[in-house]
Amino acid sequence: MPTPPYRADHVGSLLRPASVKEARRKFYEEKSISAAELKAVEDEAIKDLVKLQEGVGLKVVTDGEARRHFWHYDFLGELDGMEFVTREAHKGVTFHGVKLPPTFPTINGKLDFPDNHPHLEHFKYLASVTKVTPKISIPGPSVAHYRTAKADIHPAEYQDVEVLFADLARTYAKAVQKFYEAGCRYLQMDDIYFAYLGDEKQRAMKREEGFDPDWLIQKYAWMMHEAIKDRPKDMLIGMHMCRGNFRSTWAAEGGYDAAADAIFNHTGVDMFFMEYDTERAGGLQPLSLLKKGKQRVYPGFITTKTGELESLDSLRRHFDEASKYVDLNQLGIAPQCGFASTEEGNSITEDDQKRKLELVVKTAEMIWGTA
């Protein structure tokens, strides 16, 4: 069986099947079914999601994040030292015209990755039901800092942000090792705030919090590098970047110019999934900072926010333009984001989703002759 990296890939999340949504409602809201019954429904749905991905010709599959509410909070909330608090009176994080539920990360103790983190079993189950490469996506180390308000970081030692960053890097290094031990050879980290920090409004917010945004970019790159530098040689690390994705809305805009050097040359990441479906992502010039070698960029010219299907001709033109800045052999194709960063999902249909995944494979075959 071929091994990654492949030319065709995707970010990870898929629309939650109706069976999963109904079972989650019964478990979390009605409390009318057991955790075992919910898991059984999720297991069957994941089998179908794997068949969908394999059926369109993808050589790498995920579980669609079908067991999660959020792309990031479900993972972070299971770390030692971290929990989530719901504040009904507080406004949630604002996207473009839409607000997330008012759930907030809180650091109450020393951070660590537990040996029994649920996502390890999630990966093992995925690996057991596919014949191609299984991939799991988790939030990157910067997410715990970017999304946690200073007032919600309680340990005295973490008032020194350098100590907090060091512990986050150590926690993630342990996570990388534990996923490897679970059989994972392709781990993706969604470290989207590199892209957020190209948005002047987001940069201004961080300045108000007392942080130089360019310093943050360098420290976030350092955390990623520290977390993955000792990974085994047969383990690939991908990193996804976007500007928010909640019910087809977005939270930030701006190019990769401020972060491209840190992203490509200081993280140690193998594969980069970069949102490029609208002008909000800026130009392709930052790709020129990718050094010649084995690293690969997956520019997300195919959007997951709408069902409108991009044409193969337009995608070819995008790659012609990208190849002015980076060797075509160091490129692949993936959608710009997941299809359902939260369980609500984007404003598209399951048929739209399938056609988008088929287009990813067709584009790879058109450009490189293989997916």
Q: Is residue 115 part of a domain?
A: yes
Q: Determine, yes or no, domain membership for 5.
A: no
For residue 250, what pLDDT is reported? 45
CB atoms within 10 A of CB 184: 21
* pLDDT at residue 244, rounded to an integer: 62
Structural domain tally of the chain?
1
Q: Which of 169, 336, 327, 198 lies closest to 261 in space, CA to CA?
A: 198
- Residue burial 210-245, b: 16+ Cβ < 10 Å; e: rest: ebebeebbebbbbbbbbbbeebeeebbbbbbbbbbb
Task: Classify residue 111 by its DSSP letter.
Answer: E
Query: What does the pLDDT read at residue 100?
Result: 55
For residue 348, being part of any structural domain is answered with yes
Q: What is the pLDDT of residue 248?
A: 45
Query: What range does the domain containing 246 cover?
Result: 68-368
Query: Would residue 40 count as lying in a domain?
Result: no
Q: Which of 135, 113, 133, 141 shows the shortest CA–CA distance to 122?
A: 135
pLDDT at residue 242, as a whole number: 85
- The bridge status of strand 136-139 relative to strand 133-134 is unpaired
- In a domain, residue 284? The reply is yes
Residue 280, pLDDT score: 72
Is-contact 165 223, C-beta < 8 A?
yes
Domain annotation covers residue 269: yes
| Dmax (CA) of the chain | 57
Report the DSSP pairing between strands 186-190 and 236-241. Answer: parallel
Distances (CA, A) of 291 to 114, 142, 267, 272, 327: 36, 24, 13, 13, 9
pLDDT value at residue 71: 87
DSSP string for residues in 64-105: TTTT-SBTTHHHHTTSEEEEEEE-TTS---B-SS-B--SEEE
Is residue 45 one of the residues assigned to a domain?
no
Query: What CATH number did the domain enclosing 73 receive?
Result: 3.20.20.210
Cα–Cα distances (Å) from 275 to 11, 95, 152, 338, in that order, read 10, 17, 30, 10
Q: Is 237 left (phi over 0), alpha (psi -120 to 50) or beta?
A: beta
What pLDDT was estimated at residue 307?
92
Q: Is the pTM of this model over 0.85?
A: yes
- For position 96, what pLDDT does the model report? 52
235 in any annotated domain: yes
Q: Residue 191's pLDDT is what?
A: 93
pLDDT in tens, the chain (371 residues): 678 999 999 999 999 999 999 999 999 999 999 999 999 999 999 999 999 999 999 999 999 999 999 889 999 999 999 998 887 645 555 545 544 567 889 999 999 999 999 999 999 999 999 999 999 999 999 999 998 999 999 999 999 999 999 999 999 999 999 999 999 999 999 998 998 898 899 999 999 999 999 999 999 999 999 999 999 999 999 999 987 655 445 456 778 999 999 999 999 999 999 999 877 768 999 999 999 999 999 999 999 989 999 999 999 999 999 999 999 999 999 999 999 988 988 899 999 999 999 999 999 999 999 99
Q: What is the rounded distance in angstroms from the CA atom of residue 17 to the CA atom of residue 15?
A: 6
